Amino acid sequence: MTGIQATQDRVATVSIGSRLLGLLRRRETSILAAFLIMVIATAAVSPIFVFSPDGWRNLLLNPAIYMVLAIGVAFVIITRSVDLSVGSTMGLTAFGVGSLYIAWPGMPAVVAFLVGTAFGGLLGLLNGGLVAVAKVPGMVITLGTMYVFRGANILWAGSTRINASQMGPDFLAFGNAQILGIPALTILAVVVLVIAAWYLHNIRSGRELYAIGSAPEAAELYGLPVRQRMLMSFVMSGAMAGLAGVMFAARYGTIASNAGTGYELQAIGAAVIGGVAITGGSGTVIGAAFGAILLATINSALPVLGIQSFWQRAVVGALILGAIILDRVLAVRQKRKLIAERMEP
């Protein structure tokens, strides 16, 4: 009782100063700092990394696909599950959209985006359905579908590639378009981010995802539709991976059967680095998107800094480990603080 009272008192007397302190403590702030340091250091070595039309464009464009993927994966991780199949879903969708263009050359770009997102959602539904039926961790099912989707993609594509000339001109134009100097794909990613963040923060079913992730048994006892929400989070993850696949096709214009390989690690890494705790129940899609921006920038900065791009995965791994250790330390400290407060008279 006294704990709740104390919390209420504290909320009432929140000053601008402590709010500022809170903002500084947020994960997003430290990621932003790391991002700025990275960009400044790289720009110091090679100014064209930022100060050239191409450099500027890539700096904004590169994170777009990772952001969309990380947003989707964050939905699943918040419910204390994980989706390892997003890279394969993305590749399969990219190839699917390319093939659809070969079958229907006049397809409008909007249709391509809608069909791709829906197709990804369908693959996500398969994941979620299997997890719900088998009642096993999402990790086991999605490890399986990760290889099934990739295998299906390779089987379908063989050694063929889909080239830019086979896709619609308006589709490719969108992939390279800029509005007021900002790439259209980046704007799309930000719009998706804003909608997802609003949904998770304000809508009842979005809040329920956090409830399920923090205490699955309690959520079940409370009467939340746990299975439905889990299914929805996997559909969301698949749909975002599908959208990322369409964006990949629009941006690069060349799709081989290995498109999107390894992106699942980047997406999960981005979410975890951005403060979406792998133990579920906490984190935001904005944090996940910040994590994606940081990872995408590291990807493009490493070669400029003279580090071979092969090392990039090692950096991702080290960052994931660092982030989960930090999460754990913060959680333990928070718990201790709460206990100490309860002990006070």
Q: Does 107 interact with another protein (rule: CB under 8 A)?
A: no
Cα-Cα-Cα-Cα dihedral of 173, 72, 120, 140, to 10°? Answer: 140
CA distance linking residue 341 with residue 336, whole number of Å: 9
Q: Does 139 interact with another protein (rule: CB under 8 A)?
A: yes
Q: Does 155 interact with another protein (rule: CB under 8 A)?
A: yes
DSSP 309: G
Instruction: Find the part of the chain contacting another protein (CB under 8 A) among 1-9, 93-101, 321-329, 334-342.
Output: 321-329
Interacting residue with another protein among 17, 217, 223, 345 (CB under 8 A) = 217
Interacting residue with another protein among 32, 265, 304, 330 (CB under 8 A) = 265
- DSSP characters for 186-250? HHHHHHHHHHHHHHHHHSHHHHHHHHHHH-HHHHHHHT--HHHHHHHHHHHHHHHHHHHHHHHHH
Indicate the helix (H) or strand (E) that contains 179.
strand 178-179
CA distance linking residue 282 with residue 216, whole number of Å: 13
Report in angstroms how near the CB of residue 330 gets to another protein at its nearest: 12
Q: What Rg do the C-alpha atoms of the chain give, in angstroms?
A: 21
Phi-psi label, residue 80: left if phi above 0, alpha if psi -120 to 50, beta otherwise: left
Indicate the helix (H) or strand (E) that contains 111.
helix 109-134
Beta carbons within 10 angstroms of residue 54's beta carbon? 10
Interacting residue with another protein among 23, 218, 314, 338 (CB under 8 A) = 314
Q: Does 320 interact with another protein (rule: CB under 8 A)?
A: yes
Give, rounded to a whole angstrom, the gap between the first and last alpha carbons of the chain.
11
CA distance linking residue 80 with residue 82, whole number of Å: 7
Region 236-255 residues binding another protein, contact defined as CB under 8 A? none
Q: How far is CA 334 from the centre of its chain?
A: 26
- The residue (of 52 and 258) whose beta carbon lies closer to another protein is 258
Instruction: Find the part of the chain contacting another protein (CB under 8 A) among 21-29, 35-43, 239-247, 306-314.
Output: 306-314
Instruction: Find the part of the chain contacting another protein (CB under 8 A) among 12-20, 146-154, 184-192, 201-209.
Output: 146-154
Q: Up-side HSE of residue 278: CA atoms within 13 Å toward CB?
A: 21
Q: Does 161 interact with another protein (rule: CB under 8 A)?
A: no
CA distance linking residue 208 with residue 230, whole number of Å: 10
Total residues interacting with another protein, rule: CB under 8 A: 46
Report in angstroms how near the CB of residue 6 gets to another protein at its nearest: 27
Contact 315, 309 (CB under 8 A): no
Q: Does 333 interact with another protein (rule: CB under 8 A)?
A: no
Interacting residue with another protein among 38, 115, 152, 330 (CB under 8 A) = 152
Q: Does 133 interact with another protein (rule: CB under 8 A)?
A: yes
CA distance linking residue 226 with residue 63, whole number of Å: 32
- The residue (of 123 and 268) whose beta carbon lies closer to another protein is 268
Q: Does 295 interact with another protein (rule: CB under 8 A)?
A: no
Interacting residue with another protein among 28, 50, 118, 144 (CB under 8 A) = 144
Length of the chain, please? 345
- The residue (of 19 and 335) whose beta carbon lies closer to another protein is 335
Q: Does 269 interact with another protein (rule: CB under 8 A)?
A: yes
Using CB under 8 A, list all residues that contact another protein. Answer: 82, 130, 133-137, 139-141, 143-148, 150-152, 154-155, 216-217, 220, 226, 265, 268-269, 272, 278-279, 308, 310-318, 320-321, 324-325, 328
